[in-house]
Structure 1
């Protein structure tokens, strides 16, 4: 199956799921999820695999074992292409439309220590700063889980303290309801955007231990 865009039915499906996140709703609309969400997502990442690698298309079910929120289904469909542990390219569709990103989404303590030592280094840290600033100028939202203060062992007035506070760091971009999400052109739009983030991922791979 070739990718021809996400149909309007995919957006409508998630609009309705946010209102009625129940097994009754899911069972009644399982074919909509299969045909309008899952199938296009699999086709999309298949067309990008030649350059970026094989994607993991996430299951639609939430893990509610340790959550107070017991709603059973995710309100978006995501796919992830890993280049290192918890590091890689991301795309999702949900009620707000399509979103893409790249970065490291989680780091174990040892790997985070490697990354922070690289951020501290005047050469490597300045390189990451330049990459992040360049993506911001291109319209990317730099996000991630951050400590409220300096990590243990690092000075609060460190010149790159904002980067050192990150426990994850991502560059994200929203396409929203842009008409491109309903066409094959979305493949090339994502391809171009992921290429912009490749130097950032390369930095994480190089300095992550």
Structure 2
């Protein structure tokens, strides 16, 4: 794998985010896509050692388009300045928790979770945490987990979600709207010789979290 070509291209794209430059460098982008899919393929193979549900998933089915949807954005630059892949046993559009690999100069990460859960599913997940709080705490408060994911969730409510007691001791665990975890890594993480070992270690910990959530989410799939 040659991930350096990915970072070089993304840095240049961030400085030349226009269709003319991109069209002139389309062949390079094709090479970038190929390298990223090589990376995802070996990561999928490694994850499948402890999560058989994603065995055989094609990297091409996990990769997001580089073209931005600018219809409702004040930022009209046409291209993303990152490249990402979402490895999900039930597909990229599923609510099922999956694994996410994100390459962006200065903002790389391994992450995962479920975004924009439908209201009924979100309430059910919160109920599951409330009903099984000690099991949930044994995951998210474990130092082995917190080493990678010190913060669980994004986009938090200011008060207790409707239907749950405000005086619940662990109410903060129910306030997040997006049940995701992110592990920020330096750019050279993806060029290090122990890349796969370190990726496996991080995603093994994430799987504990996703297994808990998927037990509930998959009832709605």
Q: What range describes the TM-score normalised by the shorter chain of this pair?
A: 0.7 to 0.9
What is aligned with 1:23?
Answer: 19
**Structure 2 length-normalised TM:** 0.81
Aligned to 2:177, the other structure's residue is in SS state coil
Do the aligned partners of 1:83 and 1:205 also contact (CA within 8 Å) in 2?
no
**What RMSD, in angstroms, separates the aligned Cα atoms of the two structures?**
2.1
Paired with 1:60 and 1:147, the residues of 2 have a C-alpha distance of 31
Task: Tell me how far 1:93 sits from its aligned partner.
Answer: 0.6
Paired with 1:40 and 1:191, the residues of 2 have a C-alpha distance of 20
**Correspondence 1:6 to 2:16:** no
Paired with 1:79 and 1:96, the residues of 2 have a C-alpha distance of 17
Q: After the TM superposition, which residues 182-197 of structure 1 pair with which residues of structure 2 at under 5 Å, given as runs?
A: 182-183=191-192, 185-197=194-206
What is aligned with 2:71?
Answer: 65
Q: After the TM superposition, which residues 14-93 of structure 1 pair with which residues of structure 2 at under 5 Å, given as runs?
A: 14-35=10-31, 37-50=32-45, 51=48, 52=51, 53=54, 54=57, 55=59, 56-83=62-89, 85-86=94-95, 87-93=97-103
Paired with 1:70 and 1:132, the residues of 2 have a C-alpha distance of 38
**Highest RCO, 1 vs 2 (Cα 8 Å, sep ≥ 6):** 1
Q: Summarize the Cα distance change of 1:193–1:5 in structure 2 as closer, same or farther, 3 Å threshold.
A: farther
**Structure 1 length-normalised TM:** 0.85
Paired with 1:31 and 1:149, the residues of 2 have a C-alpha distance of 51
Structure 1, unmatched stretches of 5+, are: none
The number of equivalent residue pairs is 201
Q: After the TM superposition, which residues 126-141 of structure 1 pair with which residues of structure 2 at under 5 Å, given as runs?
A: 126-134=134-142, 137-141=146-150
Do the aligned partners of 1:151 and 1:165 also contact (CA within 8 Å) in 2?
yes
Structure 1 segments of 4+ aligned residues over 6 angstroms from their partners: none
What are the superposed Cα offsets for residues 50-102 of structure 1, whole Å, 9 maximum, x if unpaired?
A: 40522511111111222222211111100001145332100011121531012
